[in-house]
Amino acid sequence: MSSENVRPVGAWALRRAVIVALLAVWGWAAASAFGQGDAAVLGLRLFLLGDYDRAFQQFGQALAKDPTRAVAVAGLAAVHLARGETQPALSSFGAAAELAPGQAWPLACLGSAQMQAGDPKAAAASYRQALTSRPEWAAVRARLAYALYCQGLTAAAMDNARTAARYGERTVAPLVQAAVMLRDGDARGALQALGGTGAAVVATAAGPAPALRMASLASALPGLETGLPTSTVLPTPAPGGVRITWPRDGSSISGRVEVQAEFDVPPAYAVVYIDDQFVSVTNASQVRMPWDTRRWPDGVHRVRVDAYDSSGRCVGRQEIQLIVANRERTGDATQAALDAALGVALAEACLPSPPPWDPPLLYAEAARVAGQPEAALDVVEHPFSCWPWHRRLREELHLACRDLGLANPSPAEILVLPRPGQVAVTFDDGPHPRITPWLLSVLAKRRVRATFFLVGQQAVQYPELVRAIVAAGHEVAVHSYTHRNMTRLAQVEIERELAQSRWAIARACGRRPTLFRPPGGHYSADVRAAAAALGFRTVFWNANICRYVARTLNGMIEGLDGDLARGGILLLHNGEDETPLIVEELLDRLRARGCELGPVGELSGVESVYVSAGGRAQVK
Ligand SMILES: [Zn+2]
């Protein structure tokens, strides 16, 4: 595969765009059907666009109109979830499940919130329950597989991942399959699960669902480093030992009910509040309070029990949220169908997505273990430059370089050329839209081949110039990605400059350079170590045009010619300096006195590029 394929393409973004477009039609249909715009439809559209504040308002409005509308309750919960407010999300999704009994989507939502809360066991139960009424819902089955994997139940995870894949799920199921296979030592199977080239899987990695990310599969198993937050879903704490035992938190109630609460230590007295209003007091050892909910408006209410000691100090408290739903359900079939569709769209938006580094990471590991380090390097280099602080990505990059035999090249630096009379012609910076084509024609006219140390971000901007350089027989090499002073960067940032630049050049011309020159010549032990880990040799120079910029053109030529009296490495620029004014005469003069002109790698007898060809590694 080419590294081009690694570029994340927004599969989720695409799906989201389709949903948003569908909702535009729905919104219009709903507006004509109900005489005005449906707030829940608008809320979902805003939610999918990431406008959580306005989505919350719209779902709130929908709920005010019909407090028993499950999709509006779930919409509010989804906003909570997207904001990372897990507890209210959990209880409101629970309420939505009560309001829409027998429907799969609220349970799918609940499962996702439980996943986010770090409770894969509860999540698996909710996903399973959702699947009993909709077993073909592949997106949910894939998350069930993931929740099982997180508990270490790899066989069950594998079964469900396979089923989900059969139903066409392509985002999570292949990852779970690959993770299980890798764990069992079947690297080739893992590669196959990831789709042969891995490109498709890598492409699906882009989607930021609302803020909900699953932990890295590559590290989610117990015993390994866990990406999941430690479990935050404990039973709601009951400070001071107050436990409201009925109704259940987040449930939906109607008619007459009895509020029940118990205490670890019987208090002097206990007070019951509904929405902060005093409703009852008791000095019994437990609370048994009848409540006629029909006297309260439909909608969400809070019930709180406070325990007091004999001096009147509050020693315990618990509060729960309930939905009171007494009004007759609207029997409108159109509304029900719309809400079911909205619910499914909302649930899919809430499903956790793999972090974008997971697919390339799993693929790279599988490829490396299967003895294909080249494929590993192809797939991991660009993700590493996007997330250089991801420890495992960096490890895989180093391992791929090591297995390819690129790491720790000897010699580490090229300072001089082996034979007197050799002159390596090198151009730093660029590619440059005006200077590079002109330089190429000057060199072609004289049949001189040279080395171009390119700046990665410029290679991204002018890939056709990179190809032109290679096509003319010159060497390409790395001169960092952003042309910053590398000695001022952290080790991992230096590696990123190198990897990202190499990726950019490889993407343009299909060759990975192995030669590197630090911007400004700023070099340190850190830069040296980074270059070694990624398989670069550092090239210095013996004659530098910068040394003579204050002189006349003739003075410059004299100076450089003098520095190269016995040969060596010539540093010119492929950008805005005096190079274009002197390069022709300088090359003519060197040639006239019998120098052997050429690219630095070739004259030094080292490989200047690593060519990725047809899956077979070769250093050229
Ligand atoms: Zn430079």
Residue 338's CB is within 10 A of a number of other CB atoms, namely: 20
Please give the average per-residue pLDDT across 369-391, as a whole number. Answer: 87
Categorize the per-residue pLDDT at 526 as very low, low, confident or very high, splitting at 50, 70 and 90.
very high
- More reliable by pLDDT, 158 or 19: 158
Query: 285 CA to middle of ligand 1, Å?
Result: 80
Please give the average per-residue pLDDT across 308-335, as a whole number. Answer: 73
Report pLDDT for 238.
36
Helix, coil or strand: residue 79: helix
Query: 339 CA to middle of ligand 1, Å?
Result: 60
**Percentage of the chain lying above the pLDDT 90 cut:** 48
Report pLDDT for 212.
54
Instruction: Name the catalytic one among 301, 479, 483, 573.
Output: 573
User: Which stretch of DSSP H or E encloses residue 287?
Assistant: strand 287-292
Query: 428 CA to middle of ligand 1, Å?
Result: 5
Residue at 505: amino acid letter: I
- The strand ranges marked E within 136-285 are 242-246, 252-253, 256-263, 269-274, 277-282
Please give the average per-residue pLDDT across 377-392, as a whole number. Answer: 86
**Are residues 365 and 433 both part of a single domain?**
no
DSSP 8-state assignment for residue 357:
T
**Are residues 501 and 377 both part of a single domain?**
no
- More reliable by pLDDT, 43 or 212: 43
DSSP 8-state assignment for residue 196:
S
Q: Is residue 141 part of a domain?
A: no
Query: Do the beta carbons of residue 613 and residue 514 sit within 8 Å?
Result: no
**pLDDT digits 0-9 by tens, 337-349:** 888 888 998 999 8
Helices (H), 199-329: 199-203
For the record, the structure tokens of 185 come out as 């030592």
Categorize the per-residue pLDDT at 35 as very low, low, confident or very high, splitting at 50, 70 and 90.
very low
Report pLDDT for 216.
62
Report pLDDT for 533.
95
Examine the pLDDT at 230 and tell me if it is beyond 60: no
Is residue 428 flagged as an active site residue?
yes
Query: 555 CA to middle of ligand 1, Å?
Result: 22
Q: Which domain holds residue 270?
A: 239-324
**Are residues 498 and 384 both part of a single domain?**
no
With vertex at residue 324, the alpha carbon angle to CA 337 and CA 78, rounded to the nearest 5 degrees, is: 55
CA dihedral in degrees (276, 281, 285, 291; nearest 10)? -70
Which phi and psi (to 5°) does residue 294 adopt?
-65, -15
**Are residues 486 and 575 both part of a single domain?**
yes
Q: Whole-angstrom Cα distance, residue 65 to residue 76? A: 14
For the record, the structure tokens of 44 come out as 């979902």
**Are residues 601 and 505 both part of a single domain?**
yes
CA distances to 38, 55, 72, 114, 203 from 32, rounded to whole Å, are 10, 21, 20, 37, 39
Q: Indicate the angle between helix axes 104-116 and 333-350, nearest 10 degrees.
A: 20
Query: Do the beta carbons of residue 267 and residue 316 sit within 8 Å?
Result: yes
Report pLDDT for 591.
94
Q: Which of 164, 158, 257 is nearest to 217 (CA)?
A: 158
Q: Give the CATH number, domain containing residue 588.
A: 3.20.20.370
With vertex at residue 96, the alpha carbon angle to CA 91 and CA 101, rounded to the nearest 5 degrees, is: 125
Q: Is residue 14 part of a domain?
A: no
Query: 312 CA to middle of ligand 1, Å?
Result: 76
Q: Is residue 73 part of a domain?
A: no
Q: Is residue 210 part of a domain?
A: no
Most confident residue range from 221-225, 380-384, 465-469:
465-469
Query: 430 CA to middle of ligand 1, Å?
Result: 8
Q: Is residue 59 part of a domain?
A: no
Query: 597 CA to middle of ligand 1, Å?
Result: 22
Q: Give the CATH number, domain containing residue 275.
A: 2.60.40.10
Q: Whole-angstrom Cα distance, residue 281 to residue 273? A: 9
Q: Could you say which of 282, 302, 324 is where a domain stops?
A: 324
Report pLDDT for 309.
75
Residue 103's CB is within 10 A of a number of other CB atoms, namely: 22
Most confident residue range from 20-29, 160-169, 248-257, 284-293:
160-169
Please give the average per-residue pLDDT across 503-528, as a whole number. Answer: 93
Q: Whole-angstrom Cα distance, residue 220 to residue 226? A: 5
Categorize the per-residue pLDDT at 129 as very low, low, confident or very high, splitting at 50, 70 and 90.
very high
Q: Is residue 517 part of a domain?
A: yes
Please give the average per-residue pLDDT across 495-523, as a whole number. Answer: 93
Average pLDDT, the chain: 83
Max Cα distance, the chain (Å): 110
Please give the average per-residue pLDDT across 100-125, as a whole number. Answer: 94
Please give the average per-residue pLDDT across 350-362, as a whole number. Answer: 84
Q: Whole-angstrom Cα distance, residue 225 to residue 218? A: 9
Q: Whole-angstrom Cα distance, residue 301 to residue 152? A: 39
Please give the average per-residue pLDDT across 409-426, as a whole number. Answer: 92
Instruction: Name the catalytic one among 428, 479, 483, 561.
Output: 428
Report pLDDT for 575.
79
User: Strand pairing of 252-253 and 314-324?
Assistant: parallel
With vertex at residue 138, the alpha carbon angle to CA 135 and CA 142, rounded to the nearest 5 degrees, is: 110
Categorize the per-residue pLDDT at 31 as very low, low, confident or very high, splitting at 50, 70 and 90.
very low
Q: How many domains does the chain have?
A: 3
**Are residues 305 and 376 both part of a single domain?**
no
Q: Is residue 244 part of a domain?
A: yes
**Are residues 540 and 422 both part of a single domain?**
yes
Please give the average per-residue pLDDT across 402-417, as a whole number. Answer: 90
**pLDDT digits 0-9 by tens, 567-579:** 999 999 987 778 8
**pLDDT digits 0-9 by tens, 155-214:** 999 999 999 999 988 888 999 999 999 989 999 999 888 875 455 444 444 433 344 555
Q: Kindly give, in sequence order, each residue whose CB lies less than 8 Å from that of residue 322, ignoring residues fewer than 6 positions away.
A: 95, 247, 249, 250, 251, 252, 253, 300, 301, 302, 303
Examine the pLDDT at 237 and tell me if it is beyond 70: no
Please give the average per-residue pLDDT across 268-283, as a whole number. Answer: 81
Q: Could you say which of 273, 300, 324 is where a domain stops?
A: 324
**Are residues 535 and 605 both part of a single domain?**
yes
Query: 520 CA to middle of ligand 1, Å?
Result: 6
The answer to whether the Cα torsion of 81, 83, 86, 91 is positive or negative is negative
DSSP 8-state assignment for residue 248:
P
Q: Could you say which of 307, 324, 341 is where a domain stops?
A: 324
Q: Which of 66, 347, 117 is nearest to 232 (CA)?
A: 117
Q: Whole-angstrom Cα distance, residue 601 to residue 310? A: 88
**Are residues 394 and 418 both part of a single domain?**
no
Examine the pLDDT at 469 and tell me if it is beyond 90: yes
Q: Kindly give, in sequence order, each residue whose CB lies less than 8 Å from that of residue 558, ignoring residues fewer than 6 positions away.
A: none
User: Which stretch of DSSP H or E encloses residue 40?
Assistant: helix 39-48
Helices (H), 320-412: 333-350, 358-369, 373-386, 391-403
Q: Is residue 293 part of a domain?
A: yes
DSSP 8-state assignment for residue 353:
B
Report pLDDT for 338.
83
**Are residues 364 and 475 both part of a single domain?**
no
Query: Do the beta carbons of residue 217 and residue 290 sit within 8 Å?
Result: no
Please give the average per-residue pLDDT across 107-126, as a whole number. Answer: 94
Q: How far is CA 435 from the centre of its chain?
A: 38
Categorize the per-residue pLDDT at 613 as very low, low, confident or very high, splitting at 50, 70 and 90.
very low
Helix, coil or strand: residue 275: coil
**Are residues 509 and 365 both part of a single domain?**
no
Report pLDDT for 266.
79
Length of the chain: 620
Please give the average per-residue pLDDT across 10-17, as a whole number. Answer: 51
Q: Which of 443, 453, 374 is nearest to 414 (CA)?
A: 453
Categorize the per-residue pLDDT at 3 as very low, low, confident or very high, splitting at 50, 70 and 90.
very low
**Are residues 265 and 387 both part of a single domain?**
no
Query: 491 CA to middle of ligand 1, Å?
Result: 20
Which phi and psi (to 5°) does residue 19 adopt?
-60, -45
